[in-house]
Amino acid sequence: MRFIHLADVHLDTLFASRDDRLREALRDASRQALANAVDLAVARDVDAVLVAGDLFDGERLSFQTERLLIGAAKRLADAGIQLIYATGNHDHSGAGHRGHGLEWPESVMLVKGAEPQRIEVLREGAVVGHVTAAGHETAAEERDLAASFPPRARSGLPEVALLHAQVVGARDAERHDRYAATELRTLQLAGYDYWALGHVHRSQRLGDRGEIWYSGNTQGTNPRDTGPKGCLLVDLSSSGTPDVRFHPLAPIRWEILSLSDIGGAGTLSALVARVEREWSESRRSDPDPAREWILRLDLTGSTPLSRELSSDAELVQLGFEIERVLGVLAVDVRADVHPPADPATHRGRHDVLGEALRLIEEARASAAVRAALAPDELARSGPADETELDAYLVELLDGLDAELAARMLAGRERDR
């Protein structure tokens, strides 16, 4: 039995960006990723395509995407490939959902109930394996759906489990909502030849036996979705460990470049040159020349450019420049930097700066001082009570001493 395991396509998910062009490119990329998966399935003549949930973001599924999905399913059906699709939290089968009642072709095996369902996988009319799958019925499935999976059947054929779930301990699992959470041990005990999982966006193998896999998502949806994105081509033809190979599908990749030691760059040009060097180095270790890139550049630490990097307009311009130099689709620059002067060295001063730095220390230590310093009216709406307000003030105090020193010290001393 040979199949493609994919998950978290997230068609029609929102890409938070002010750039229309970028949002459209990412939407097209997520659609193209699905088309690439179908191409791969047809080219490799697989028996089935298994989708482990979150094929689309149901709350905003558009008419166009609906047609695209149905079209992809028809292509697979025309090629004689079964599509077995178990719903996830974003495309759950509950009422009131935009994806509810989608009219799939007859060949699609849609699993939308929490009760596991065993499906035959056919090749030219003969059964070559089985897929046991369960789906999400709501947007926040709190049950351990894996626990309800029956033990592996003794069919003499490959037995595959298909589920959208969070496995505790998986890498990056904490970045996702804790839906249908389960333990690795639960999966192992069920004894299936292969677990096709969805929900966590990082492709990874769980456990040490090689039968439990997250395929990861097919196209990154936000800056933290770094690394190659695609699907897994799984071959269970031979006994023993499944033969699992990753195939990239995403036309666009997100990457984060974090630089914390930028003190040596005295000008923005030097900073750009430094970024170029780091990026080249990064690409040498992870070449993927056929794709487009969106880069998140995180700048931290002390720098003589702190004033420039505190200006939104400068950051945007810097992003454009780096985008041009690196030849990437977009660059988002985030800076949390402070001037070279260390505020700690000024804390003992007998002047207003020393007084203000000591006042910040007092504010960090005392809620009453924080409350006294709080602006009369806050721009940010939301702090519902004193506790929430105080937590917000604590957040605002973070790094405030560095900014204070930067603003109060005259130029030479500030930049020393």
Whether the CB-CB separation of 136 and 163 falls below 8 Å is answered with no
Among 2, 7, 15, 318, binds other proteins (CB under 8 A): 15
Binding region for other proteins (CB under 8 A) out of 82-90, 275-283, 284-292, 400-408: 400-408
Residues 6+ apart with CB under 8 A from 318: 268, 271, 272, 309, 333
Does 118 help bind other proteins (rule: CB under 8 A)? Answer: no
Does 21 help bind other proteins (rule: CB under 8 A)? Answer: no
Subset of 164-183 contacting other proteins (CB under 8 A) = none
Write down the H helix ranges in 79-201. Answer: 184-190
Q: How far is the CB of 80 from other proteins (least distance, A)?
A: 26
What is the Cα–Cα distance from 377 to 21, expressed in whole angstroms? 37
Among 148, 237, 260, 345, binds other proteins (CB under 8 A): 345
Does 377 help bind other proteins (rule: CB under 8 A)? Answer: yes
Among 360, 361, 367, 415, binds other proteins (CB under 8 A): 360
Does 247 help bind other proteins (rule: CB under 8 A)? Answer: no
Number of residues that bind other proteins (CB under 8 A): 56
Whether the CB-CB separation of 136 and 93 falls below 8 Å is answered with yes
Burial bucket for residue 381 (CB in 10 Å: 0-12, 13-18, 19+)? exposed
Does 380 help bind other proteins (rule: CB under 8 A)? Answer: yes
Does 2 help bind other proteins (rule: CB under 8 A)? Answer: no
Does 13 help bind other proteins (rule: CB under 8 A)? Answer: yes
Does 403 help bind other proteins (rule: CB under 8 A)? Answer: yes
Does 354 help bind other proteins (rule: CB under 8 A)? Answer: yes
Buried b (16+ CB within 10 A) or exposed e, 355-368: ebbebbeebeeeee
CA 223 and chain centroid, separation: 7
Binding region for other proteins (CB under 8 A) out of 137-145, 232-240, 272-280, 354-362: 354-362
Does 384 help bind other proteins (rule: CB under 8 A)? Answer: no
Among 70, 189, 256, 397, binds other proteins (CB under 8 A): 397
Binding region for other proteins (CB under 8 A) out of 39-47, 70-78, 244-252, 374-382: 374-382
Does 184 help bind other proteins (rule: CB under 8 A)? Answer: no
Q: How far is the CB of 311 from other proteins (least distance, A)?
A: 11
Does 348 help bind other proteins (rule: CB under 8 A)? Answer: yes
Contacts 24+ apart (CB under 8 A), 221-225: 221/10, 221/13, 221/15, 221/26, 221/30, 222/15, 222/16, 222/254, 223/254, 223/256, 223/294, 223/296, 223/332, 224/175, 224/254, 224/256, 225/201, 225/254
Binding region for other proteins (CB under 8 A) out of 120-128, 165-173, 234-242, 349-357: 349-357
Three-class SS of residue 106?
coil
Does 24 help bind other proteins (rule: CB under 8 A)? Answer: yes
Does 379 help bind other proteins (rule: CB under 8 A)? Answer: yes
Whether the CB-CB separation of 224 and 265 falls below 8 Å is answered with no
Does 367 help bind other proteins (rule: CB under 8 A)? Answer: no
Burial bucket for residue 46 (CB in 10 Å: 0-12, 13-18, 19+)? buried
Cα–Cα–Cα angle for 125, 131, 136, rounded to 5 degrees: 130
Subset of 34-73 contacting other proteins (CB under 8 A) = 57, 60, 62-65
Tokens 């699993």 correspond to what residue?
A: 111
Does 18 help bind other proteins (rule: CB under 8 A)? Answer: yes
Among the listed residues 22, 24, 4, the one whose alpha carbon sits nearest the alpha carbon of residue 12: 24
Among the listed residues 370, 378, 358, the one whose alpha carbon sits nearest the alpha carbon of residue 394: 370
Among the listed residues 204, 214, 229, 247, the one whose alpha carbon sits nearest the alpha carbon of residue 294: 229
Binding region for other proteins (CB under 8 A) out of 160-168, 227-235, 262-270, 391-399: 391-399
Among 8, 12, 159, 211, binds other proteins (CB under 8 A): 12
Whether the CB-CB separation of 161 and 196 falls below 8 Å is answered with yes
Which residues would be at the binding site for other proteins (CB under 8 A)? Answer: 12-18, 20, 23-24, 27, 57, 60, 62-65, 345-346, 348-356, 358-360, 363, 372-381, 392-393, 395-397, 400, 403-404, 407-410, 412-413
